[in-house]
């Protein structure tokens, strides 16, 4: 089964669970790493951080649903965790939510002499992020990025 189809089915099974528990689905990944498959679910909360009890509740409920429906042909490991402080930004809503925050950007090809930068996220539109990096305004197509994550600044 294609990875995208797996993640769509899992999202449909997961949504009633996260709604009931007052949680948000941040991301779902179904990946093959070496010989093993991993189903990774990242959850979030609006007001406070996700705790181990939240992860455990989602893991148990989702595992039961996956056993009941059995939508995944491969043997896999289910992992449920917080989206984390350095969460990946993927969807339009992710970028819009964090405008005004610092982000760590990894690029496929150098821009301004580097493939990695920490910049201030200024805007998002149609797959392009606008950032301020070392006093310069840059527009970067997401297709040219390896990843965009919230920067963890202490």
Phi, psi of 95, rounded to the nearest 5 degrees = -65, -45
Q: Which tokens is 133 given?
A: 């990096």
Nearest 10 degrees: Cα torsion 132, 118, 83, 95: 20
Looking at the fold, whether 55 and 100 belong to one and the same domain comes out as no
Burial class of 67 by CB neighbour count within 10 A (0 to 12, 13 to 18, 19+): exposed
Contact (Cβ atoms closer than 8 angstroms) between residue 118 and residue 102: yes
Looking at the fold, whether 108 and 140 belong to one and the same domain comes out as yes
Domain boundary among 31, 51, 82: 82
Looking at the fold, whether 78 and 8 belong to one and the same domain comes out as yes
Does 87 fall in a domain?
no
Residue 120 belongs to a domain with what CATH number?
A: 2.30.30.100
pTM, 2 dp? 0.82
Does 51 fall in a domain?
yes
Looking at the fold, whether 45 and 96 belong to one and the same domain comes out as no
Per residue of the chain (154 residues), what is the pLDDT tens digit? Answer: 567 799 999 999 999 999 999 999 999 999 999 999 999 999 999 878 899 999 999 999 999 999 999 999 999 999 999 998 899 999 999 999 999 999 999 999 999 999 999 999 999 999 999 999 999 999 999 999 999 999 998 7
């Amino acid at each position: 089964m294609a990875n995208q189809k797996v993640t769509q089915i899992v999202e449909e099974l997961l949504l009633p669970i996260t709604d009931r528990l007052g949680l948000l689905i941040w991301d779902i990944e179904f990946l093959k790493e070496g010989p093993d498959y991993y189903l990774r679910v990242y959850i979030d909360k609006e007001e406070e951080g996700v705790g181990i009890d939240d992860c455990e509740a989602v893991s148990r409920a989702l595992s039961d649903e996956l056993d009941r429906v059995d939508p995944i042909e491969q043997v896999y490991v289910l992992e449920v965790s917080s989206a984390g402080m350095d969460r990946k930004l993927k969807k339009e809503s992710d970028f819009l939510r964090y405008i005004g925050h610092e982000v760590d950007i990894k690029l496929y090809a150098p821009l301004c002499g580097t493939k990695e930068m920490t910049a201030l996220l200024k805007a998002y539109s149609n797959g392009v992020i606008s950032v301020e990096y070392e006093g310069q305004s840059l527009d970067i197509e997401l297709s040219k990025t390896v990843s965009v994550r919230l920067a963890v600044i202490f």
